[in-house]
Structure 1
Amino acid sequence: MSVLAIDAGTTGVTALVVERDGSIAVKGYQEFAQHFPRPGWVEHAPEEIWQAALEATRQVLKVYDAAQLEAVGITNQRETVMLWDRETLAAPRRAIVWQDRRTADLCTRLRDEGHEPRVRDLTGLRLDPYFSGTKLMWLRENEPHTWALVESGRYAIGTVDSYLIARMSRGTYHATDVSNACRTLLFDLEAGDWSDELCDLFGVPRDALPELVSNWGELAVTDPASYLGLSLPIAGVAGDQQSALFGQTCFDVGDSKCTYGTGSFVLTNTGATVERSDALLATAAWRAPSGEITYASEGSIFVTGAAVQWLRDGIQIVGSAAETQAVASTVDDTEGVVFVPALTGLGAPDWDPHARGMIIGLTRGTTRAHIVRATLEAIAFEVRDVLDVMPAVSSLRVDGGAAANDLLCQIQADQLGVPVERPTVVETTGLGAAFLAGLGAGVWSSTDDLRHTWALDRRFEPVGDRAAADAAHARWRDAVQRSKGWAV
């Protein structure tokens, strides 16, 4: 018995086959294009995401018997908004990605009008371009011809999960779950449903939104003519960070994880309680078929892995992400160089969409190794900033691509002053989707059954001088303050 997981991330789609013991049997991956039509704007072509999902799945099916699959689970980049034709499934425009900053002025306008306290009370979020509601409001105000077809009922609105469900099922289902819905600014967190009040505020017709379903169970069924001959229940779905929390088996209150991806996201399970904070976000983690919602506190960091990608593609000082550990290890420290990777503004805990990236402390002696090491340190500093405003943790479970970097994990432990634990399977975003789908299809009987699949790869204990770690972090905080408000 095995489960197919589709992890539709920000830069590519991964397909995993997860066995009953939690191991990954097969993996496929396909990148898709990033579109930057203007400074601060980030878009994806929905069709390119779908084709990447198909190609990643094809790679799996070439070497794995589809007859062994019990179900499919979906996890996805959150907050990215898409429109598509309900009949043809064609998208009338590119998706506006979670990283996109075009609605910064719109957020300021709504804040000046006094809406933020009520929005935060209902959603657990803040008015920031990160979230979907202002993106939809921007479309309504700037693309009226497209929006008219939303209001007429021809175009559906959704996040990446609901788009993939529609494509896999040939348009039969228009559905999402609470972990994605709660990131739209249109979802009442404690009521567990779309909010008419918020839909009115942002001008979004409720009828255009997906049906809300639980995170596991028989949620939809794939159409074999649309999805490579597969007829499987879509039995699990969750936004990527909540999926990683599930994949790390963080089922108890206080359990915490950090996923190093395009951005980095620290989540702590808060159980049945919505924990509100000025610096952090309250979010729905998952909803059981019984209707009970588990919540989490989240610190969202927008650019971490994307900073490494920028080193590779933007300024071309490394050939691959894997090379960063070797390059950074050639120097003992950054010699005062600090990189603030606010390439799309700052997320938690600073929340400044007008901040921009900055490298400071350069001298004639600065080399690429110092800049690469400063990038790894920046990732660790950003995570520390979030954990400094969370309840104290005794250890931190890490996952995502950059978790394979031993130097980063050690720097992280040194900065936090607590152990960092890396599991044997760091693809926990896809693993969480598989676990959810497996619960829904009966591959696993309970979350207790899933706990036994988690295995430790390496535990990084903090070492070195605590005072030196704190001084480095203080220098980082000084640089962060200097980066703020640059794009106003």
Structure 2
Amino acid sequence: MILALDQGTTGTTALLLDAEGRLRGRGYAELPQHFPCPGWVEHDPDEIWASVTAAAAAALAAAGVPATAVRAVGLTNQRETVVLWERATGRPLHRALVWQDRRTADVCLARAAWNDELRRRTGLVLDPYFSATKIAWLLDHLPAARRRAEAGELAVGTVDSWLLWRLTGGRVHATDPTNASRTLLYDLRTGTWAPDLLDRFGVPAALLPTIRPSAGDFGATDPERFLGVAAPIGGVAGDQQAALVGQGCCRPGLAKNTYGTGAFLLLHTGARPVVSRHGLLTTVACGPRGERAFALEGSIFIAGAAIQWLRDGLGLLRQAAESEALARSLEDNDGVYFVPAFVGLGAPHWEPRARGTLVGLTRGTTRAHLARAALEAMAYATADVVGAMAADAGAPLERLRVDGGAAANDWLLQFQADVLAVPVERPALVESTALGAAALAGVGAGLWPTVEDFLAGQPPARRFLPRDLRPRRDAWLAGWRRAVAAARAWAQAAEDAAS
């Protein structure tokens, strides 16, 4: 059995899969988020760990097998989120700063002149989304943290590093290239931490984890701390790169979109990095044997979280699944658009000051319009990224593979196919992220030679074919562009008022 641990923004999923990739057990544990100030988003690192142990135990119970049946463990995680802890005790010094956290936006804006070099070296843009400014914030705002970091008393890492530390009883402080590449501290061409970038962001090298291949040796679980078993940890990857693997997109030209809290579209580009000229990121991906490869990525900060906001923030939905029936109840959006820029706009716009915008409201607007607008926003934002990818790659996308929680929504996927005018494919097992972690773990543990060998037994995907709606599609996309312009204008107006 392979135990795949998928630690996400709102919870942790654990899957237990057999050697043919068949699901034997599933477990899930929710993870609370904390919002101490506007624009700040945090997790308690101990709650992250507790969610992992709870989900793993639930998966084993669902499968009805003992922990000793686990032959390898794969780990995948929310990326960019930062944890700082004491090496001697393993005690976190602060809550984790989540990838959605925007507290360093002013720092990033003040250093905008660095952008060209950072894009060339790291494939990223200078944005609070990434880890470097989060690490610096912790060192500068916690008592004696910088001194202790320079003395080697502290450790820092993305969530994978924190969990590897806990899983191995403090024996392993490591990360993999997919996670390292999301920090602004990793040089794409050398595949190492960049000393000059560490100096520029004020991050001591002694803090950082070692970088190991995504499929390989990450130690073994400590039986005194995790399920009473010592199982090899054979694979680690950031959630979006793991989903790319789980969708079988391990070769150039294949693309997937994960609709989760945010939406993340990756296009595999092969063994050499492609630097985007259209607002995308260059990131590390995995090849068939877990080797380092590259991808273009479009990061959409808010996707399923918009539906959660309608449910939890406004009370318009009892369950997120209601959004599908509400969207189906309307023939059209009636000019209502929702740009859920709660934490700014991601790719391809990169406007950290933008805020959520609803346009086109009338007295006839109902909760059905708002639910449809939130679902449509996921599809439109994806279309923005797909257009940028086509421009960078020099060829249009031929199909899009999808996964994530919102991919269970048939209305959304049909609308996505209509807007993109290409087929959309949903796998039978939508937890592609955990599936990818399992595939990498098996390669790393020597259970199969390539991830494709493991994935060969997966059942065929369901296809959503585009309908011929060209005039309506053009009108929908034009309305979306006007709505995005309104969200960006709000940011500009706020800046003008402050100056």
* Aligned equivalent of 1:297: 296
- Superposed displacement of residue 327, structure 1: 1.8
Answer whether contact 2:213 2:292 (CA < 8 A) is retained.
no
The partner residue of 1:440 within 428, 431, 444 is 444
- Asked whether 1:89 is paired with 2:90, we answer yes
Residue 399 (str. 1) matches residue 398 (str. 2): no
- 1:333 is aligned to 332
- Asked if 2 retains the 8 angstrom alpha-carbon contact of 1:263 and 1:300, the reply is yes
1:399-438 matches, cutoff 5 A: 399-438=403-442
Task: Output the CA distance in 1 between the equivalents of 2:60 and 2:427.
Answer: 26
Contact 1:186 1:199 in 2 (8 A): yes
The separation in 2 between residues aligned to 1:189 and 1:330, in whole angstroms, is 48
**1:470 and 2:474 correspond:** yes
User: Matched residues in 2 for 1:106 and 1:444: separation?
Assistant: 46
- Check the 8 A contact 2:439/2:455 in 1, yes or no: no
1:66 Cα deviation (Å)? 1.9
Deviation for aligned residue 1:320:
1.4
Q: Which residue of 2 aligns with 1:194?
A: 193
> Which residue pairs with 2:226 in the alignment?
227
Distance 1:456 1:483 in 2: 40
Question: Equivalent residue for 1:460?
Answer: 464
Partner of 2:214: 215
Query: Following TM superposition, by how much is the alpha carbon of 1:448 offset from its aligned partner in structure 2, in angstroms?
Result: 3.6
2:106 corresponds to 1:105: yes
Partner AA of 1:211 in structure 2: T
Encode CA deviations 1:268-307: one digit per residue, 9 max, x unaligned.
11111211113100001137889x5210110000000111
Q: Which amino acid aligns with 1:127?
A: L
Correspondence for 2:135: 136
Q: Which residue number corresponds to residue 282 of structure 2?
A: 282
Listed one character per residue, the Cα deviations across residues 217-255 of structure 1 (whole Å, up to 9, x for unaligned) are 222111000112021011100000000000001111000
1:183 maps to amino acid? R
Letter paired with 1:50 = W
The answer to whether the Cα contact below 8 Å between 1:71 and 1:441 also exists between their aligned partners in 2 is yes
Matches for 1:70-89 after TM superposition, within 5 Å: 70-89=71-90
Q: How does 1:237-276 map to 2 (within 5 A)?
A: 237-276=236-275
Using the TM superposition, name which of 88-97 and 436-445 deviates more. 436-445
The alpha-carbon deviation at position 140 of structure 1 amounts to 3.0
SS in 1 for 2:156: strand
Report the secondary structure of 1:216's partner residue: coil
CA drift of 1:144 comes to 4.8
What amino acid maps onto 1:91 in structure 2?
Answer: P
Cα distance between partner residues in 1 of 2:452 and 2:227: 34
CA offset digits 1:148-174 (Å, max 9, x no partner):
222221110100000000001110100
Alpha carbons 1:341, 1:357 under 8 Å: kept: yes
- CA-to-aligned-CA distance 1:422-461 (integer Å, 9 cap, x gap): 1101100011000000111233222341341343331000
2:16 pairs with 1:12: no
Q: Residues of 1 paired with 2:373 and 2:114: CA distance?
A: 39
* Contact preservation (8 Å) 2:426, 2:462: yes
- Which residue is 1:175 aligned to? 174
Q: Which residue of 1 aligns with 2:68?
A: 67
In 1, Cα distance between equivalents of 2:139 and 2:482: 39
What TM-score does the superposition give when structure 2 sets the normalisation length?
0.95
Aligned counterparts of 1:149 and 1:288: Cα–Cα separation in 2: 41
TM-score, normalised with respect to structure 1: 0.97
Match of 1:375 in 2: 374
Contact 1:215/1:436, CA 8 A, preserved across alignment: yes
Code of the aligned partner of 1:286: C
Return the letter of the residue paired with 2:200: L
Gaps in structure 1 of 5+ consecutive residues: none
Q: Do the aligned partners of 1:282 and 1:297 also contact (CA within 8 Å) in 2?
A: yes
Structure 1 residue 348 and structure 2 residue 347: aligned?
Answer: yes
Aligned residues: 484
Unaligned runs of 5+ in 2: 391-395
Percent identity (aligned): 52
Residues 6 and 76, structure 2, Cα contact 8 Å, conserved in 1 = yes
1:464, 1:312 → 2: CA distance?
33
Partner residue in 1 for 2:453: 449
Please say if residues 41 and 102 of structure 1, whose CA atoms lie closer than 8 Å, have aligned partners that are also in contact. yes
User: In structure 2, what is the Cα distance between the partners aligned to 1:170 and 1:366?
Assistant: 55
Distance 1:38 1:148 in 2: 27
> Contact conserved, 2:12 with 2:55, CA < 8 A, in 1?
yes
| Between 138-147 and 304-313, the greater mean CA deviation after superposition | 138-147
CA contact 1:334–1:374 (8 Å) conserved in 2: yes
2:383 counterpart residue number: 384
Q: Secondary structure at the match of 1:220?
A: coil
Moved more, 125-134 or 440-449: 440-449
CA RMSD of aligned residues (A): 1.4
In the alignment, is the contact (CA less than 8 A) between 2:338 and 2:357 conserved in 1? Answer: yes
Q: C-alpha offsets along residues 317-350 of structure 1, whole Å, 9 cap, x if unaligned?
A: 1111222111221111221110001111100010
1:308, distance to aligned residue in structure 2 (A)? 1.0
Q: Is the 8 A contact 1:217 1:441 kept in 2?
A: yes
Question: Is the 1:178–1:287 Cα contact (8 Å) retained in structure 2?
Answer: no
Alignment correspondent of 1:118 = 117
The 3-state SS of whatever aligns with 1:219 is coil
Change (3 A) 1:162 1:287: farther
* Matched AA of 2:244: L
